[in-house]
Amino acid sequence: MTSATWDRGLALAPAGSDGTDELDAIALGRRIRHLRKSRSLTLDDVSAAVSLAPSALSMLENGKREPKLAQLKALAACFEVPVDELLGTEPPSRRAALEIQLERAQRGPLYQALGLPTVRVGSRLPMDVLESLVGLQNELERRLNEQAATPEEARRANTSLRHEMRQRNNYYREIEQEAARVLAAVGHSGGPLSQHKAADIAEHLGFSLHYVGNLPHSTRSVTDLKNHRIYLTQVSRADHDPRSVLLQALGHYVLGHQTPQSYAEFLSQRVATNYFAAALMMPEKETAAFLHRAKDERELAVEDLRDAFAVSYESAAHRFTNLATEHLGITCHFQKVHESGILHKAYENDGVNFPADHTGAIEGQSICRYWTSRVVFDVQDKFRSFEQYTDTIKGTYWCTARTERHSSGLYSLSIGVPFEHVKYFRGRDTKERCQSKCPDESCCRRPPAQLSELWSGNAWPATRANTHLLAAMPTGAFPGVDETEVYRFLQDQSG
């Protein structure tokens, strides 16, 4: 048995996020059972000694219940061992270690996702069967771990990051403070951040800017940390604000990012630099004051924020989610939905029921056709924002949405709030209203009965093959970037 295997038998799990140790009920239960049997005691014997029902003691031994401190002390006294021995760092036997591993595996999401029956882990389970089951589980986990940077991994990373954003109300104080220090250093006095002032920020941080026509095709910018140069390209595409591209590149430097070791870390860094750029173009102090005035006047509108700071509607919508809860006490949600109805990105801390798969991932899911983010595609007036009330299974939400065209198609961008907050927004007097029963399939996923009767079995659509859905995520520390191409580019420039 390797040390790594023995580590899985610790009675104390790794420290949690709050810095405290978490009790491992499975390992503790196996140790209690081992001590009881090694002393030829029955459940009834121990139960009487510690004033605990035999059924409760059995649940402790099976890891289905955590003991109280008083019960731990009573058990230790019964077995005539220190409490620390009950919480030992090593399983009492090889069999106990294997039983602990199998119990943990069967209670984990991987085993449960297989839909297999649970094996009763008891003394009657033959040792060779126990070893085979544990070996199969370990090999399955190993093979899954080898599939690095798969779309599944990306969805898991996105889901984890979205949970973190929700817990923080999408507000990152440490990034706000870094952005404020940079703006103060260059003397930004307010109003939209000009490209000239963005260049001043680069100069203040010790970087020179170089516009080139041969930037590696997989990049938007390349930073030469050796010579403190940032290489950019002048393009006509409106997908990316040139200020944002530069400020994101500087964000990696200011925030002290190192080469990412996983896709999750890469994604987290990308979100942080996007946030940093937004905090520079829409400073917290000014933006919060702007939003407070609009709230007091009951005229909150994302397009006003867009116009006040000369940014895109999408950037303004994202920035609103950063500050709405922290400064205004308003919970909200954001969606970016493709014209096909597929959810591209989203955020929520208001309880809205985004569609999700069994892992909690929402990317790639179809949004209800009665939600504002779908209805807006059929609205003729594209100049003004479209507002709608939607009655959902989670309550009534008011949303404002616009559509914007990108290189990959037409997208809707929407901000929504629970009904209790709508009184602060312009457009609250809209008469548009829809009802959504999703995820009930009868809402919009199942064709109407009359159409089904006419066409079911008589239609064969030629689907558009989305081959990118079958491909693995690009490999490398920076997914999709050809490092050889980047290094050759830098070598040519420095030469």
**Residue 190 per-residue DSSP state:** S
E-state strands within 108-227: 208-211, 222-224
Report d(CA 51, CA 481) in Å as an integer. 64
DSSP per position, 394-417: TEEEEEEEEEEEETTEEEEEEEEE
Largest CA distance in the chain: 83
CB atoms within 10 A of CB 471: 10
Residue 264 neighbours by CB under 8 Å, 6+ apart: 153, 156, 157, 160, 161
CB 418 within 8 A of CB 333: no
Rounded Cα distance, 215 and 233, in Å: 7
Q: pTM for the whole thing? A: 0.68
**Angle of helix 25-38 relative to helix 69-79, nearest 10 degrees?**
30
**What residue ranges define each of the domains in the chain, with the CATH number in brackets?**
3-142 (1.10.260.40), 155-281+476-495 (no CATH), 297-439 (3.30.450.20)
Six-digit token string for 239: 């997908």
CA neighbours closer than 13 Å in the CB half-sphere of residue 414:
29
Per-residue pLDDT of the chain (495 residues; tens, 9 = 90+): 333 333 333 344 433 333 334 457 788 888 888 888 888 888 888 888 888 888 888 888 887 788 888 888 888 888 888 888 777 767 778 888 888 888 888 877 777 777 788 888 877 889 898 889 888 888 887 766 554 446 677 778 888 999 999 999 999 999 999 999 999 999 998 889 999 999 999 999 999 999 988 888 888 899 999 999 999 987 655 567 889 999 999 999 999 999 888 888 888 999 999 999 999 999 999 999 999 999 999 999 999 999 999 999 999 999 999 999 999 999 999 999 999 999 999 999 999 999 988 778 888 889 999 999 999 999 998 889 999 999 999 999 999 999 998 878 899 999 999 999 999 999 999 999 999 999 888 898 888 888 888 888 888 777 665 544 445 455 556 666 778 888 888 888 887
Please state whether the peptide bond connecting residue 192 to the residue before it is cis, i.e. omega within 30 degrees of 0.
no
